Homo-oligomer: A and B are copies of this chain.
Amino acid sequence: MRLFRLFVPRTTVSAHCDLPCGVYDPAQARIEAESIKAICEKYQANEDPEFRTRSLIIKEQRAELVKHHLWVLWTDYFKAPHFEKYPHLHGLFNEATKLAGAGGAKGSADPEVAGRLLAKINEISEIFWETKQA
């Protein structure tokens, strides 16, 4: 799967708390989104109402975490020069967080929607790792 090729060089350390500590990693958002995709697949394959309700409860939490991790990258990691170099970056984050919300992975239990969210996170990751390279 080509999708996560760029995650390979994991020794690179990034930054994510708002000290800031300087450790950011799009893997945090991606892992939650992978979880959402797996939840959707299990949801579609299981008609037990208790299981389905639990799936939606947990999917809602995971999607909120995706939004949170992406917002942190957008506000805390990316700086003015990045937004100049990648003019569509604002829009990309806005679409990605929308895709994690009511119009996307929160509002839908379709694995395909979760897949689109993952692809969007992947686009962000590619830019993230390019900026770390530089």
Contact = CB atoms under 8 A, between A and B. Distances in A.
Interface of A: 1, 3-5, 7-8, 10-11, 13, 15-23, 25, 27-28, 31, 34-36, 38-39, 42, 49-58, 60-62, 64, 67, 71, 74-76, 78, 83, 90-91, 94, 97-98, 101-102, 106-109
Contact of A23 (B23, B31, B60, B67): B31
A102 B50 CA distance: 12
Contacts of A16: 31, 35
Given A28-B31, A38-B15, A21 B58 contact: yes
A75 B94 contact: yes
Nearest to A79: B98
B1 A21 contact: no
A17 B35 contact: yes
Contacts of A42: 19, 21
Given A28-B28, A31-B27, A18 B101 contact: yes
A18 to B, nearest CB: 5
Given A4-B11, A76-B101, A101-B18, A38 B23 contact: yes
Contact of A58 (B18, B74, B98): B18
A17 B76 CA distance: 23
Contacts of A51: 107
